[in-house]
Structures are given as structure tokens and as C-alpha cells.
Amino acid sequence: MTQQQMYSLLKKAVIPAVIIIVGIIILSNSFYTIREQEQAVVTTFGTPQAVAEPGLHFKIPLVQEVRKVNTTIQGIAIGYDATSLRTIEDESLMITSDFNFVNVDFFVEYKVVDPIKALYASDEPAFILKNIALSCIRSTIGLYDVDSVITTGKNEIQSVIRDSITQRLEAHNIGLQLVNITIQDAEPPTEAVLEAFKAVETAKQGKETAINNAQKYRNEQLPAAEAKIDRIIKTAEAQRQARINEANGQAARFDALYKEYIKYPLITKQRMFFEAMQDILPDLTVIIDDSETGVQKILPLESFTGETVTE
């Protein structure tokens, strides 16, 4: 057999084998499997289409391209490394509304709800979600004081952050959905700050004690003060009534005197003058000389013994 014949036979055998191998390769790439908690995006000439039905599926070789997306709940650690549990201070260090620093660690749970947008709306949707979460966390922590962040306000803070992230995700529309966000840990950043925080707590307790003592003293003193106020008011009312009565009496005397004055002006004037002089100079002796009748009167009238005669 000549070399040319051998080459012809080899060519006849190889070509069908290559065709078969290529066919097997193409055929093997014509099927793909979607598992539970997984979706696929099939791209035909650049047009994506989501496939969510689990099981074996067919695709057109060399025309369609398949990319699978995990739809299970996934997590992102913020403030610490999920593998080594080492604190990442750039992420965890926050400032509160009362200007205290605190380290807060969060864990964000999310899942893919729109695989097409998760693949094509952005290059790294999980990275975008982390940045959104960090922004919402910092802005929310800044609204609360350090006591609320470390102790009593965790549930409320988580709820506010969750709502804020959800709204931001809807606005960005990157195919992800927030499932939950939880505070893993919250504490002052250093030992020195921790000691200062304890000192502040001690001072607050002292403040509460002082307030309670002051309230006790107030409750003890208030009844006595109210009784004293009541006595003062009653005394003032009595003095007021006495002065009113005195003023009324003086007004009545003035009215009576005025009526006498209208009847006998001169006599009333003289009487008022003598009474005024007697009040001013009680030891004064008044002598009235009536030159026409030659009668002298001594006021106040005195007896021959020198004692005042009262009428």
C-alpha cells in the first residue's frame, strides 16, 4: 500500500472522528442544569432571559450563553472579617449623637431576586449593597446617643437601618433584596474609652441619686412651705380687710365732718384747728380771749387745782 493510499484511508477515518468529537462537545454544551436555590440567565445574541425552573435545560450551542446565579440567602460582614473575626476599624468605628465613639459590627443578609439585574445592572452588586449599608449605618448611628447604641436602642436602630437600606436598594434597582441586618456587637473602641464610659455611667448614677435626694427633700419641705404660704396669705387678707375697714371708717368720719362743715364752716374750722394742735402739742394750753365780752376760756378746761376737767 502506497503512502498516498495510507494518507487517504487515515483522512477518511480521522475526519468522521473529529466530527463526532466536535458533535459530542457541542452536544454536551447544549444542556445545562439548574439546581434548587439557583437561577440562570440565558443570553441569546446579547438579549438576556431568566430561567428559574430547576432541572435539565437545553441551549443553542454557540448562540446562547448561560450564567448561573445563586439565589440563597447570603451574608456580608461589616466592621469585622467574617473569617478571622478581626475588627475592621475603618468600617466599625462610628460617632454617636452625643459625640462619643463606638465600635459597631453588623451582619447583612441578602438574596438575589432579579438575576438579570444582578448580573448586568452593575459589576459588583454585593459591593454596592455593602456601601449602601455602611452609609445608612453611619447616618443612623449618628442620630442616637452612645447608651442607645450599646444597650437599649439596638432593636430600634436595626429597624431604622433596615428600612433605609431597603429604600436605597429599590432606588438603585440592582436585583438584590435585603433580608435582614443585625448588630453583632457594640462597644467603646479602646480600654481607655471603656473606662471613661464606665465613669460616665457612674456619674449618671450619682446624678440620679442626687435628683432622688432633692426630690425627697422637696417633698418634705413642700407641705411646710405651702402651710407658711397659706398663713402669709391669710395674714395679708386680714390686714387688707383691716385697712379697708379703717379706710371706710375714715371715709365715714370725713363725710360726717363735711356735713358739719357745710352747716357751720367757721366753727368746724376752729374745732379742727384746735384738735390738730392738741394732737401735735398735747401739753399746749389754749386761751381764747373774747375781747367784746371780756370772757376768757382755757382749752382744755382746767380746774382751779390745775387738773384738766373732762366733760
Distances (CA, A) of 268 to 115, 145, 265, 273: 119, 86, 5, 8
C-alpha–C-alpha distance, residues 171 and 200, integer Å: 41
Does the domain at 74-189 match CATH 3.30.479.30? Answer given as: yes
pTM of the complete model: 0.55
> What pLDDT does 136 receive?
95
Task: Give yes or no for residue 305 having a pLDDT over 60.
Answer: no
CB-count exposure of residue 247 (10 Å: 0-12, 13-18, 19+): exposed
Quote the cell numbers at residue 293.
365780752
Of residues 167 and 57, the one with the higher pLDDT is 167
C-alpha–C-alpha distance, residues 216 and 292, integer Å: 87
C-alpha–C-alpha distance, residues 111 and 116, integer Å: 13
Torsion of the alpha carbons at 50, 56, 60 and 65, rounded to the nearest 10: 50
C-alpha–C-alpha distance, residues 257 and 255, integer Å: 5
pLDDT per position as a tens digit, 241-297: 999 988 888 888 888 877 877 877 887 777 777 777 777 776 666 565 555 555 555
pLDDT per position as a tens digit, 175-224: 999 999 999 988 877 676 667 767 777 888 888 889 999 998 888 888 88
Q: Domain coordinates of the chain in residue numbers?
A: 3-69, 74-189, 191-263, 268-311
Sign of the torsion angle spanned by Cα atoms 204, 208, 211, 217: negative
